[in-house]
């Protein structure tokens, strides 16, 4: 297990002050210092402990079902004239990559002596993954969720409740993910001693982006091994992942960031079109700002008000991007593309028909860009299929006749 690998010399990993280039840091209210400082001083030491790694490993194997397969998608490869491998995070317990991070953080919370867990959620995927590990570890679980999202995502709300979590509606602002995150932070300020905040993506104040990336880095650790077995080389020509806050992308890229021959492609949500006013294409539209404790690229007005994002996929519907990715964008290490709602829908139908796999709406954004890359027949392409499409069936069905 490589979650505590020393990345000190890399210019793409976090530096000792919690920055990726000019992005990152911990811009938090003073009331939150003790909580965040506790994490900053302890997380790396805890992750480095062999007994922690053993416990994390065993749960990923026996509870989550890892390693997830690396599948050479024959008919998709035929269509795009390259060797396309899908990293099957959709086959994990609870249906997406999110569980890798919640397993890691609940083990960390136990070692910090915490007894209560809080989380934010948008579509409910991270909420479900958090409620799941809280049931597993017998911890109290409170999930903040925008009241509009509670209505839109009823099945996931029911799942969280069945798993024993309390779901608290966030009624401020746009009543969606960003407001739920604000509520979770407020709760944490009021409960600094017994509570750990399980943040669901590679954003937030340091050390969250690095910590979440490390828990998700099991994805690229497995890809290296599996690709070597299947092709003789650990290095693909392309790595592709969709990006909301950036956790599945961070996990997919982590062990390849310092391999310059591997092209890194991140796909944002273009919504109804990047310049339509209904989009979440942060690198295209964003400017330097601070959101939820991190200095990063952020969609905002000229006087710094956050612009409401739009995407057909709730998991990509976020106005910011994790600081690691802002840095990959700015340095040119990663290529950032966007896929519109319609392109993602078409890609989801295509994968279902060609491979018998119904992808999550988020993952479909990554699939949608295969058609736009200058692929060669000999190229090995690894695409992170971050989740399965069960949660999106209503969306798929309602667009089917188009
Ligand atoms: C939440 C989610 C995402 C987006 O989150 P990242 O942190 O950017 O990975 C992508 N795919 C699926 C299936 C999700 O549930």
User: Can you spell out the DSSP letters for 215-257?
Assistant: HHTHHHHHHHHHHHHHHS-S--SEEEEE-SSSHHHHHHHGGGT
| CATH code for position 190 | 3.40.50.1100
pLDDT at 402: 55
Ligand 1 geometric centre to CA of 209 (Å): 14
Q: Which atom of ligand 1 is nearest to the CA of 201?
A: 7
Average pLDDT value over all residues in the chain:
95
pLDDT at 230: 98
Q: Which atom of ligand 1 is nearest to the CA of 248?
A: 9
Domain that holds residue 238: 67-95+217-400
Q: What is the mean pLDDT of residues 136-161?
A: 94
Domain count, the chain: 2
Percent of the chain with pLDDT over 90: 89
The per-residue pLDDT for range 178-203, each reduced to its tens digit, is 889 999 999 999 998 999 999 999 99
Based on the fold, state whether residues 316 and 191 are members of the same structural domain: no
Ligand 1 geometric centre to CA of 92 (Å): 13
Residue 242 Cβ contacting ligand 1 at under 6 Å: yes
Tell me the pLDDT band of 217, cut-offs 50, 70 and 90: very high
Q: What is the mean pLDDT of residues 34-50?
A: 96
Where is the domain boundary, 188, 212, 236? Answer: 212
Q: Is residue 233 part of a domain?
A: yes
Ligand 1 geometric centre to CA of 48 (Å): 26
The per-residue pLDDT for range 349-372, each reduced to its tens digit, is 999 999 999 999 999 999 999 999
- List phi, psi (to 5°) of 117: -120, 135
Based on the fold, state whether residues 118 and 73 are members of the same structural domain: no
Where is the domain boundary, 171, 195, 212? Answer: 212
Based on the fold, state whether residues 228 and 143 are members of the same structural domain: no
Based on the fold, state whether residues 52 and 82 are members of the same structural domain: no
**Quick one: which of 350, 354, 358, 347 has its CA closest to 389?**
358
Based on the fold, state whether residues 182 and 43 are members of the same structural domain: yes
Q: Is residue 7 part of a domain?
A: no
Q: Is residue 143 part of a domain?
A: yes
Residue 245 Cβ contacting ligand 1 at under 6 Å: yes
Q: Is pLDDT above 90 for 153?
A: no
The residue whose C-alpha atom lies closest to atom 5 belonging to ligand 1 is 244
pLDDT at 1: 57
Based on the fold, state whether residues 174 and 298 are members of the same structural domain: no
Residue 387 Cβ contacting ligand 1 at under 6 Å: yes
Q: Which atom of ligand 1 is nearest to the CA of 212?
A: 7
> In the 8-state DSSP scheme, what is residue 359?
B
Residue 96 Cβ contacting ligand 1 at under 6 Å: yes
Based on the fold, state whether residues 144 and 269 are members of the same structural domain: no
Residue 251 Cβ contacting ligand 1 at under 6 Å: no
Q: Is residue 2 part of a domain?
A: no
Where is the domain boundary, 170, 192, 212? Answer: 212
Based on the fold, state whether residues 201 and 242 are members of the same structural domain: no
Q: Is residue 48 part of a domain?
A: yes
Q: Is residue 15 part of a domain?
A: no
Tell me the pLDDT band of 152, cut-offs 50, 70 and 90: confident
Task: Report the first-to-last Cα separation within the chain, whole angstroms.
Answer: 46
Q: What is the mean pLDDT of residues 105-115?
A: 98
pTM: 0.97
Place of tokens 């509520």: 183
Ligand 1 geometric centre to CA of 244 (Å): 6
Based on the fold, state whether residues 34 and 88 are members of the same structural domain: no
Distance CA 366, CA 90 (A): 14
Q: Is residue 11 part of a domain?
A: no
Residue 248 Cβ contacting ligand 1 at under 6 Å: yes
Based on the fold, state whether residues 301 and 168 are members of the same structural domain: no
Based on the fold, state whether residues 228 and 80 are members of the same structural domain: yes
Q: Is pLDDT above 60 for 125?
A: yes
Based on the fold, state whether residues 221 and 272 are members of the same structural domain: yes
Ligand 1 geometric centre to CA of 17 (Å): 27
Q: Is residue 266 part of a domain?
A: yes
* Residues acting as catalytic residues: 98, 120, 386
Least confident of 161-170, 311-320, 357-366: 311-320
């Amino acid at each position: 297990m490589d979650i505590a690998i020393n990345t000190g010399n890399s210019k793409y990993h976090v530096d000792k002050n919690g920055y990726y280039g000019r992005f990152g840091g911990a811009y938090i209210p003073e009331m939150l210092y003790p909580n965040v400082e506790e994490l900053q001083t302890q997380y790396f030491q805890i992750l480095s402990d062999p007994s922690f790694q053993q416990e994390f490993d065993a749960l990923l194997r026996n509870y989550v079902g890892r390693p997830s397969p690396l599948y050479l998608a024959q008919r998709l490869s035929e269509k795009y004239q390259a060797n396309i491998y899908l990293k099957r995070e959709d086959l994990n317990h609870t249906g997406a990559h999110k569980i890798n991070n919640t397993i890691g953080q609940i083990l960390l919370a136990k070692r910090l002596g915490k007894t209560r867990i809080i989380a934010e959620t948008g579509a409910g995927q991270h909420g479900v993954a958090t409620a799941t590990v809280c049931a597993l570890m017998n911890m109290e679980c409170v999930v903040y969720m925008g009241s509009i999202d509670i209505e839109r995502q009823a099945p996931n709300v029911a799942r969280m409740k069945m798993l024993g979590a309390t779901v608290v509606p966030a009624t401020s602002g746009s009543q969606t993910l960003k407001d739920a995150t604000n509520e979770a932070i407020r709760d944490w300020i009021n409960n600094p001693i017994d509570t750990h905040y399980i943040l669901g993506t590679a954003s937030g104040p340091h050390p969250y982006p690095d910590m979440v990336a490390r828990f998700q880095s099991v994805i690229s650790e497995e890809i290296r091994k599996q690709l070597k077995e299947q092709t003789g080389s650990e290095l693909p020509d392309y790595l592709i992942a969709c990006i909301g806050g950036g956790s599945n992308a961070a996990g997919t890229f982590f062990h390849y960031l310092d391999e310059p021959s591997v092209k890194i492609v991140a796909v944002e949500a273009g919504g109804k079109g990047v310049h339509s006013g209904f989009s979440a294409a942060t690198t295209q539209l964003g400017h330097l700002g601070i959101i939820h404790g991190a200095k990063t690229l952020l969609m905002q007005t000229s006087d710094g008000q956050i612009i409401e994002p739009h995407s057909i996929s709730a998991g990509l519907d976020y106005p910011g991007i994790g600081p690691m990715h802002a840095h990959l964008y700015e340095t040119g290490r990663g290529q950032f593309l966007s896929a519109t709602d319609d392109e993602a829908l078409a890609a989801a139908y295509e994968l279902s028909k060609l491979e018998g796999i119904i992808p999550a709406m988020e993952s479909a954004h990554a699939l949608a860009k295969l058609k736009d890359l200058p692929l060669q027949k000999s190229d090995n392409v690894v695409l992170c299929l971050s989740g399965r499409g069960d949660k999106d069936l209503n969306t798929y069905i309602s667009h089917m006749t188009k």
